[in-house]
Amino acid sequence: MAVEIDTSAFTEEAYELLSELEDSLLELEERPTDVELISRVFRAMHTIKGSGAMFGFDEVAKFTHEVETVFDMARSGSLPVTKALIDLTLAARDQIRSILDASRGGPPANQDNANRIIAGLRALAPQKGGGAAVAAESKASAPKADVEGPHVYRVRFEPRPEIFSSGTNPLLLLNELRDMGQCRVVALTNALPSLEDLDPERCYTQWEIFLTTSQGENAIRDVFIFVEDDCTLNVRLLDRDEIQEEAEPKKLGEILLERGDITEDALGKALTPLGDRLVSSGVVPADKVRAALTEQRVVQEQKQQQSKAAEVDAVVRVPSTKLDKLVNLVGELVTVQARLNQISGRLNNQNLQLVAEEIERLTAELRDNTMSIRMLAIGSTFNKFKRLVRDLSTELGKQIELTTAGADTELDKTVIDQLNDPLVHIIRNSIDHGIEKPDVRALTGKPLVGQIHLSAVHSGTSVLIQVKDDGKGLDPQLLRRKAVEKGLLSPDAVLSDSEAFMLIFGAGFSTAEKITNVSGRGVGMDVVRKSIESLRGTIDVQSALGLGTTITLKLPLTLAIIEGLLVGVNHDFFVLPLAAVEECVELSPKDIANSHGRRIVNVRGEIVPFIRIRERFAMEGERPVIEQIVIANVDGRRVGFGVDTVIGQHQTVIKNLGDSFQYSDEFSGATILGDGTVALLLDLARMVRYVEMQETKETGGA
């Protein structure tokens, strides 16, 4: 019977590894000699290859093996890390992604592309009659000696003083050990004579090497196979228990004692600081203490690695659909709990009230916990843009550095998922229209490398995401002129600079002289505005001509449950997002008379326009004598919303509204109240814009 294998675990992991691979490659481009980064790239590819083969993704395994083989040469130092290698490895990463996408029903991966990448990589490899490639290949596919994970070995290598005469360079042997895993090398130089007595062609140095590797002792001994007559070699597997036991790692004195470097008496005489005392009293040379300290550190590090691995094991992967369902259920529970509260209040039964309160507390805790599960750090989204900036700046002949801050900032998964496209558009725009070419920057005295800074920070119940560039900035006059030319603005309209900046988010608006592959069609920024609004977020643009532009996106932390202000109009209910609400004022008949038919309210001397919800949605019924105006901050302006009554704060579980409703654009959802009544959640920004558009139409654009 064929066994059906669930491959989703592999693909999920592979996507994560590919993202890690991309980040490491981009970092490696900046620090091409960083050995740890090279190893990280190699490890990511190695894991993709291994798990791919295990789960039957032979195409992934085969292709990755080819790439890994070449990258192994970089790891061993026989191939320098160049831009060409990074370019090809990035292309290979994209190719692996295409193969994975194809396995999930995406378009088939382009085999010609794969062949081109492999050919390119092979061309980079040192040509030694194919020897290097073959050697690396055999190393890459060498079986692992130990499936239980890496061991720590202590290797004592004592070459004979005459070893140089056989043409052996001991440092190359140490480097070979490095290729086998994580390696700490300590030179023991106590046999080094004074300069006068030193024969420069003799080797006086011995080594202790602490190697953390998955390979066995024989593989270590193989490194020294050609010098076995010229050296004394001692390989000892450090006791696994030493690493795994819960207790603290061995003390320095214990290690020195165990190794026979000091006697128990000598240790007893020496007090803290042990290492210094032992050295100054001449009991043990400094380098032996150094070697023992290194052993202590390596064992400690290995232990930390293992506990880290154990932490990873404690993570459970759950499909996001299950999480969405959980959030929905919690939403239902919040609604039912509100209903229970209402009923218990009405019945005035003390026992029932106690239970209702307890349920309220538990529900709140459950809600917060569930919400926190959905929170993800925005860092993974940020990392994607490094590649975008790299590729686009190269394409456009610009030099741009992307820096990020606040990658740990957490946001609801849904918000993060929907944030990618708007950020892509904003960053593309910065690269294409904002940052100037190096020659232009040089003329204006700016550094040749342009900067784009992407940051995220929590601000109350919102997250502020900022894209800041040091490019040429926005010209408010030009924006006004273009808007008038395109008929998007009446010629006599008066706009402040910040209002003019917001024109870039208008549909079909573009100041670009040329349409490029990157931007200029006036589509992208319109999409940005729509996406951010659909996330109930706002956009702010600050710009200084010649100095740069900062676009700030203000987004809610979550989309599932928000704090709202419940208001009543006639017999219906509406919810306004509480985060936007600033204050509530009364509107008396006298105020109405003073405003001479205009919908404005005087708030302590400040004139605030308002929208009467009853009129906006053509609702029936008489207005109360004293109306309530809820003043909210909409896109940086204070706007009032006229209602009959303000009921109070309400925990709003947002339900989606279908498109079939009239005015549905002006609502961002609905919520169910405790008694089962539906309340509509107002999208304040859209409502204001629609009202303004309608008024402009009515007054003929004047």
Q: Which residues bind another protein (CB under 8 A)?
A: 33, 164, 169-171, 174-175, 178, 185-187, 189, 192-196, 198, 200-201, 203-205, 207-209, 286-287, 290
Nearer to another protein, 107 or 200 (CB): 200
Instruction: In angstroms, give the least distance from the CB of 236 to another protein.
Output: 18
DSSP state, residue 445: T
Nearer to another protein, 28 or 632 (CB): 28
Nearer to another protein, 177 or 479 (CB): 177
C-alpha to C-alpha distances, 331 to 326, 559, 561, 617, 674, nearest whole angstrom: 9, 12, 7, 28, 12
Instruction: In angstroms, give the least distance from the CB of 273 to another protein.
Output: 12
Give which of 414, 501, 437, 430 is closest to 466, Cα–Cα.
Answer: 430
Token duo for residue 228? 């076995």
Nearer to another protein, 286 or 584 (CB): 286
Token duo for residue 564? 């709202």
Instruction: In angstroms, give the least distance from the CB of 462 to another protein.
Output: 44
How many other CB atoms are found less than 10 A from the CB of residue 527?
A: 15
d(CA 528, CA 347) in angstroms, rounded, equals 50
Nearer to another protein, 38 or 334 (CB): 38
639 with 684: CB under 8 angstroms? yes
How long, in residues, is the chain? 702
SS3 585: strand
Give which of 310, 308, 307, 305 is closest to 152, Cα–Cα.
Answer: 305
Return the exposure string of 379-409: e unless at least 16 CB atoms fall within 10 Å of the residue's CB, then b: eebbbebbbebbebbeeeebebbbebebeeb
Type of residue found at 178: R
Instruction: In angstroms, give the least distance from the CB of 421 to another protein.
Output: 42
> To which H or E segment does residue 265 belong?
helix 264-269
Nearer to another protein, 60 or 186 (CB): 186
Instruction: In angstroms, give the least distance from the CB of 175 to another protein.
Output: 6
Nearer to another protein, 195 or 314 (CB): 195
643 with 627: CB under 8 angstroms? yes
Return the exposure string of 490-502: e unless at least 16 CB atoms fall within 10 Å of the residue's CB, then b: eeeeeeebebbbb
Nearer to another protein, 289 or 528 (CB): 289
374 with 560: CB under 8 angstroms? yes
Token duo for residue 477? 């006059």
Provide the angle, in degrees to the nearest 10, between the axes of the packed helices 35-54 and 58-76: 160
Give which of 211, 400, 369, 185 is closest to 287, Cα–Cα.
Answer: 185
316 with 360: CB under 8 angstroms? no
Lateral strand order in the sheet of 462-469? 400-405, 450-459, 462-469, 548-556, 538-544
d(CA 478, CA 513) in angstroms, rounded, equals 12
Give which of 325, 170, 304 is closest to 232, Cα–Cα.
Answer: 170
Nearer to another protein, 80 or 149 (CB): 80
How many other CB atoms are found less than 10 A from the CB of residue 602?
A: 13
Nearer to another protein, 285 or 520 (CB): 285
Instruction: In angstroms, give the least distance from the CB of 24 to another protein.
Output: 21
Instruction: In angstroms, give the least distance from the CB of 159 to another protein.
Output: 10
Instruction: In angstroms, give the least distance from the CB of 177 to another protein.
Output: 10
- Non-local (6+) Cβ contacts of 516 within 8 A are 396, 432
Instruction: In angstroms, give the least distance from the CB of 195 to another protein.
Output: 5
Instruction: In angstroms, give the least distance from the CB of 211 to another protein.
Output: 12
Nearer to another protein, 15 or 164 (CB): 164
Instruction: In angstroms, give the least distance from the CB of 334 to another protein.
Output: 59
**Please, what's the largest Cα pairwise distance for the chain?**
110
**Radius of gyration, CA atoms only, the chain:** 34
Strands annotated E in 70-202: 151-159, 182-188
Nearer to another protein, 33 or 602 (CB): 33
290 with 207: CB under 8 angstroms? no
Nearer to another protein, 98 or 189 (CB): 189
Instruction: In angstroms, give the least distance from the CB of 517 to another protein.
Output: 39
Instruction: In angstroms, give the least distance from the CB of 54 to another protein.
Output: 35
Instruction: In angstroms, give the least distance from the CB of 283 to another protein.
Output: 17
Nearer to another protein, 189 or 633 (CB): 189
Give which of 127, 106, 107, 14 is closest to 63, Cα–Cα.
Answer: 14
Instruction: In angstroms, give the least distance from the CB of 200 to another protein.
Output: 3
Nearer to another protein, 198 or 693 (CB): 198
d(CA 147, CA 618) in angstroms, rounded, equals 72
d(CA 445, CA 439) in angstroms, rounded, equals 10
Instruction: In angstroms, give the least distance from the CB of 550 to another protein.
Output: 35
Nearer to another protein, 200 or 268 (CB): 200
DSSP state, residue 471: S
Nearer to another protein, 168 or 558 (CB): 168
Nearer to another protein, 285 or 609 (CB): 285
Instruction: In angstroms, give the least distance from the CB of 74 to another protein.
Output: 16
d(CA 543, CA 468) in angstroms, rounded, equals 9
User: In degrees, to the nearest 5, what angle opens at C-alpha 507 toward C-alphas 542 and 392?
Assistant: 65
Instruction: In angstroms, give the least distance from the CB of 184 to another protein.
Output: 8
